[in-house]
Chain A
């Protein structure tokens, strides 16, 4: 009997420290990587400004959240930020459409090489970053309110009688639910609507799509709108789950790129898969397994060290190593993306 409880305890531990955080972080990365992959598929460049687009959208959401909170508006158990999201999305759409009209369109008309777009996106990154830091400052901001947990560790222990607790934060639950809804909507849009089909056609073969009467301006506009929606929601969810700091969002660029490329860049399903692959590898590699083995092994074999493969500070290294491995072994990504 004790063996069974120990085994369940070990499972609960893994669930609590690997599966739940991995799922929520993976969903955030997947949403971010979807934006990168869409821009890559349609506009054909790696968008370095994506992290700062996320930061911008989140910043607007935070500001509106604070305003709502000061008016006494709340969503009860859910965070008020959900109410503020539409405002964040709208302004981010505005930002992206303005940058497209003022920056990228010129190069598109000149049929510039992708590298020029990339350097231009660095300029956009600088500007967006400047705006974000100017408005909200470079420091940590917290804007989570409402209920904090769906399942509390203490309640879980009391209910099951196990030694290990399982806790699920509201932000984690929300992330997973919203990610599923968004992805479903996106795929419905891409597969079933006229505009979505036009986008896929444009991504697949630009000349052929233009010949068939696809309006390129419209496709580009819709791409930026979808990117803005995904980026704002991903950024807000990440901010709710952890905290908002402009610099962290700049650093998220690397795992998001990794996710998009690992899954197969230009391929939306690949981006989602890549997001979870990167997130789970980060969590799995940086978790200290000592307690799990204490439950699983007999007492005589108890481990001495923490049994942590890599310290948490090296999580970037994990996404990077996976990225390099995939690029070397299968350059098109797990699900074949565009051959680059």
Chain B
């Protein structure tokens, strides 16, 4: 079966599954899953760039997604003027000191000859610089966090529409990725994996603890939305008219007073579906843009070069390709895409909760998507994103249902039965691992394997 055929079939199957969920559970649930499928697909595309094109093992997906989420907060929240007034001078001096420390460190590292003297100088510069930074930073933080800690206690953001944060999230993630890449990309694959794992944990720790920046574990709720609110929709005439028109068939069949009641219900249900559809449109737009660009990039000379580097670094190096630079490039671009997806996710949630970032959900699940979908194949990653997210979400009700059915012969209050039903949701981790291992073993290319274009014979 060709890849195109498989793609069509697979996406048709997913559409059918979503329809089944729509009819069996509700359209609200179905659209909710679809939205997260779209976000997962974007994230998987980002990982696929790093792993599929270039063979870079990034196990820090969670961190970049969280950076995107942070951008959503920093872009959309209104600035807290009192907090800025309380601490901005010292904050800027601290930032200046920190920047100076880094500059001085780099300067010492480059200009001094390697040896004991350089190590001593580097240690001195770093210790002194960081201490100086702390001298200004600590009072700034405590004065910022002292401003209405129960309500705000942080600097707030720029007060811009949240949709800008998708772009900003990409840039922030790209910036951090550049710093990490500069340090870690010279290392071999397993070390890069461990380094990125560490970085992502540190990013989460920073987001959890730096209350002045993100409110930490106090969370930021009620982020603004790029789409209308349900409550406004329910009050607006055009929407009620739209619902009346949409449901005109069923409304005509019943009498006027019951019709009023029914219309009210239609409007309430319709508004939440409408909002979800708006999100679907936005996310699908982003996905299509990213996907088109990725396809173009992968098929361009640049993409061929990336794959050449992936398949044989030494040979590519001998052909004059700057392997480390190209790796840095793709690492930054892939992380930016993950950052965009992270910002989209926070936008959809409407809140930023640093504690919700867990490596199994945000790093390893995305990896399963890429591997199962087909690493090196953009459509494959999108498919993996859809499929795995669907399975991940639906495995919970299905698992509980199966446990209930399987333990039906036990008494209602049997401790074992209750335990099994309560913990059935954790079996989806087991299941995901199994899927990953099976695909890796029996179909290492994934569902849609990478397409290797054969050179035409031009003799």
Contacts and interface: CB of A to CB of B under 8 A. Distances in A.
B142 to A, nearest CB: 10
B275 to A, nearest CB: 32
A340 B188 contact: yes
Contacts of A335: none
A187 B183 CA distance: 35
A135 interface: yes
Interface residues of A, number: 48
Contact of B429 (A126, A320, A323): A126
Contact of A127 (B191, B197, B429): B429
A200 to B, nearest CB: 22
A250 B422 CA distance: 22
Nearest to A246: B426
16 contacts: A114-B190, A118-B193, A119-B367, A119-B440, A122-B433, A123-B433, A129-B433, A134-B424, A251-B201, A254-B201, A257-B197, A258-B194, A316-B205, A328-B183, A331-B187, A340-B191
Contact of B57 (A118, A126, A129, A317): A118
Contacts of B55: 115
B198 A319 contact: yes
Interface string A232-271: 0000000000000001001101100110010000000000
Residue of A122, A133, A314 with highest tally of chain B CB at under 10 A: A122
B292 to A, nearest CB: 28
A319 B205 CA distance: 13
Contact of A130 (B202, B209, B428): B428
**What interface size band does chain B fall in?**
35 or more
Contacts of A331: 187
Given A106-B441, A320-B201, 4 more contacts: A134-B426, A258-B194, A314-B202, A323-B194
A261 B209 CA distance: 28
Given A46-B194, A137-B423, A311 B202 contact: no
Interface of B: 55, 57, 59, 138, 183-184, 187-191, 193-195, 197-199, 201-202, 205, 208-209, 358-360, 364, 367-368, 371, 422-424, 426-434, 436-437, 440-441, 444
A187 B193 CA distance: 30
A257 B364 CA distance: 18
Nearest to B424: A134
A305 interface: yes
A130 to B, nearest CB: 3
Contact of B202 (A45, A123, A127, A320): A320
A127 B433 contact: yes
Contacts of A55: none
B138 A134 contact: no
Contact of A250 (B184, B189, B359, B430): B359
Nearest to B436: A123
Nearest to A128: B433
Contacts of A124: 433, 437
A251 B199 CA distance: 13
Nearest to B431: A130
Nearest to A103: B437
A126 B430 contact: yes
Contacts of A128: 433
B150 to A, nearest CB: 21
Contacts of B193: 46, 118
Nearest to B432: A126
Nearest to A313: B209
B437 A131 contact: no
A249 to B, nearest CB: 12
Contacts of A118: 57, 189-190, 193
B360 A126 contact: yes
Contacts of A193: none
Contact of B430 (A45, A103, A131, A257): A131
Contact of B440 (A116, A251, A327): A116
Contact of A129 (B183, B201, B429, B444): B429
A128 B138 CA distance: 42
- The 10 closest A-B CB pairs, nearest first, are A130-B430, A126-B433, A130-B429, A127-B433, A133-B426, A320-B198, A123-B436, A123-B437, A46-B190, A134-B426
A324 B205 contact: no
Given A130-B426, A131-B430, A313-B205, A115 B189 contact: yes
A125 interface: yes
A46 B190 CA distance: 7
A130 B433 contact: yes
B190 A253 contact: no
Interface string A142-154: 0000000000000
A248 to B, nearest CB: 12
B187 A126 contact: no
Contacts of B359: 250
Interface string A178-215: 00000000000000000000000000000000000000
Contacts of B205: 313-314, 316-317
Contacts of A131: 430
A303 interface: no
